[in-house]
Chains A and B, each alone.
Chain A
């Protein structure tokens, strides 16, 4: 499913060269629920960006579903993000001017799914996260937990190969965080591959396998 071999990524921050990923390798099989855990500045976000095809590695190779990502054009990467990856962010990243349903619909619009089909899949996704009665609400009219559930619904609406969550419970209180975690567990049980990035050991412990990242190096767990 995901195969990262010997990937390096360096940033130049002012005069300092930051080695965000230092010969990192990672292998995730289909249907796994993997927690990537590490302190801030460890290279977690860089790893997430590369897995999510938002950024490119400087060296090494990354295969997603057996496809090498390195040589794709920007538009092809946009298509891969659109079809294969469902993002869930710490701060939800919903579009404030759109309703819950419209937010969920957006990736389907970019996929050029027909209107009737779109409406069906939005309804399914909303039902899956239990927010059917909130579909016409705008993000500001929803609680944090509800907003994150809308984000999850947006991520699963396209039936992606991979759900990629970056600190999904980071902005939520422990009770709603628990709700979201249970949602991820359920989604994984239904066969979705989930990669969850966190600094919280307790959250990581809920996943099927924990991968530790420190100073840009990955220690794969079992």
Chain B
């Protein structure tokens, strides 16, 4: 089991920035994990709407990143008002 599995499973609901080995950056809220993937809820984009690259996903339609593809994973600093 990938070490990222536990890291993500314990932090569902937190904003995260994942860099994959192909050089892409994925920012989103951790929605759920499977044994092989972490699924992210996209942040709204600055351009309005929820565009995410070529996926074009909307709210509620997260995308999965394979643990094996992850180069780095960082939890993004944030707070609640």
| A, B from the same assembly | no
